Amino acid sequence: MAIRPSGNPITAKGLAGMYNSDDLVIELSELVKIHRLEANSDWGFTAFTLKEAFSYKGDLNNDLSTYSLIFKKIDGIWKIAWMQRSQGTTDISTWD
């Protein structure tokens, strides 16, 4: 499950479909900072900021977004269980 900046959830299948669509053209996805990372043997949490440049259905976006992610080990494979992305206007100084 992922929560988009609009607040609308999307399933993993829906998110994969969006990324595999010609509607989404990714030009840049760069890690700016890892704010927090915790993990044990079968789960983990991270918060990080990405600089992203992309177009969706022709609309250009140049975003600085913060993500939160919960990941779990299921049958020996690490999988994203939850992801939430902020709007593209993150103020990185709030993490200092």
Q: What tokens does 13 get?
A: 């299948």
Single-letter amino acid, residue 92: I
Burial (0-12, 13-18, 19+ Cβ within 10 Å), 30: exposed
Query: How do the domains of the chain map onto residue ranges?
Result: 2-91
pTM for this predicted structure: 0.75
Q: How confident is the model at residue 12 (pLDDT cuts 50, 70, 90)?
A: confident
Q: What is the mean pLDDT of residues 77-90?
A: 86
Instruction: Please say whether the beta carbons of 88 and 65 come within 8 A.
Output: yes
Q: What tokens does 66 get?
A: 């913060």
CATH topology for 2-91 is Nuclear Transport Factor 2; Chain: A, (3.10.450)
Nearest to 51 by CA among 33, 23, 74, 32: 32
pLDDT tens for each residue of 35-66: 999 999 999 999 999 999 999 898 898 889 99
